[in-house]
Structure 1
Amino acid sequence: MTAVMEHTAARTLIDETLFSRLATRITIDHGMDHDMAERIMDQALAFLAAAATNRCAPISPSPMVDIGWHTFILYTREYAEFCQRIAGRFIHHVPDDESDTADRVSAHDEGRSPTLVAIEHAGYAIDPELWPLTDGSCGPCHEEGNCAASGKDGNENTDKRTK
């Protein structure tokens, strides 16, 4: 017999009111429709849930999913409470400050597969449209969203991530 693992929507990890506030903020700040903003926020929560339990390969969000992470971090109290609840620690946002774009794209692509595996392993659904393998525009966190969760110990508070 084959076991089938059901994947749930990550939006269930937070209160519906907070989820709506975050999606609305994405809609306003990034000029996209509310449905897309909700999808982005759901995948950001799935990524964070995976980062909370992943102790294997480094994982990082796609540029679109990183929008959701950036948005959630703005709500510092709620973000800190969420991190404590799902991870028992703060999940730091660690930008990739590599200077070589080709290296950033390669490193980002290498991190994508382990990220998707970690999300599925954590039991959350993946929205494939928000996780393209290569979009050719990966860059520093503040420009295109090439970021990662804090390192192996999950508690690093570093200013930047380098190779």
Structure 2
Amino acid sequence: MTAIAVGLRDPRTLVSPEVCDRLVKLIMRDHDMDRELAERTFGQTLAYLVTAAENPGTPMGPTPAVDLGVHSFVLDTPRYIDFCQEYAGTYLHHIPHLAEERDSQPMVLHGTIQAIRAAGFPLDAELWQAEDVDCHQCYACCHNSPKK
């Protein structure tokens, strides 16, 4: 049997350097982040959105930290629409949850984390509030775990 090395997908390759730079600057401006955190946030935003596009019908959602990048991207509509067309073939809607709708969030977040890893993207444990990126049990890595 021959082992095949599989590399991680780099979310920065999903958009042009110009779009990446623009969105990083928007995130920095809108959310008072330094460049390093804004770059990480946008990278995880791209990984999340592509994973959602590749898994239509699967309940997914970002953490509040990653959602900051989603909001900045959605508001830059020309670039967001181009991105959606390229990766989903349609507009990827962003539907915020109300407090009373958050009962299923731990399971949704866990599924999102698993799907991003399965899609081959690196996961930023801090932004996904995952204590253990390699977790496989729901409450072991969910940001709003009742065990925290």
TM beyond 0.5? yes
Describe how 1:30-69 pairs up with structure 2 within 5 A.
30-55=31-56, 57-69=58-70
Instruction: Provide the residue aligned with 1:134 in structure 2.
Output: 143
Question: What residue identity is the alignment partner of 2:41?
Answer: I
> 1:108 Cα deviation (Å)?
1.9
How many percent identity over aligned positions? 38
- Alpha-carbon separation, structure 2, partners of 1:34 and 1:57: 32
- Alpha-carbon separation, structure 1, partners of 2:67 and 2:45: 7
What are the superposed Cα offsets for residues 37-87 of structure 1, whole Å, 9 maximum, x if unpaired? 000000000000000011464110111100011000111111111101011
Describe how 1:1-163 pairs up with structure 2 within 5 A.
4-55=5-56, 57-99=58-100, 104=102, 106-132=103-129, 133-135=142-144
Question: What residue identity is the alignment partner of 1:87?
Answer: A
What are the superposed Cα offsets for residues 81-122 of structure 1, whole Å, 9 maximum, x if unpaired? 1101011111000111243xxx62x42221111111211222
Relative to structure 1, the CA distance from residue 135 to residue 30 in structure 2 (aligned partners, 3 Å threshold; closer, same or farther) is: farther
> 1:4 Cα deviation (Å)?
4.7
- Alpha-carbon separation, structure 1, partners of 2:108 and 2:91: 21
- Alpha-carbon separation, structure 1, partners of 2:144 and 2:114: 19
> 1:32 Cα deviation (Å)?
1.3
- Alpha-carbon separation, structure 1, partners of 2:48 and 2:118: 11
Higher relative contact order (CA 8 A, sep 6+): 1
Unaligned runs of 5+ in 1: 137-163
Root-mean-square deviation (CA), in Å?
1.8
Which moves more between the two structures, 115-124 or 87-96?
115-124
Structure 2 length normalisation: TM-score?
Answer: 0.81
Corresponding pairs, count: 132
Question: What residue identity is the alignment partner of 1:39?
Answer: R
> 1:21 Cα deviation (Å)?
0.9
Q: Is the 8 A contact 1:24 1:34 kept in 2?
A: yes
- Alpha-carbon separation, structure 2, partners of 1:29 and 1:55: 29
> 1:13 Cα deviation (Å)?
0.3
Q: Is the 8 A contact 1:40 1:68 kept in 2?
A: yes
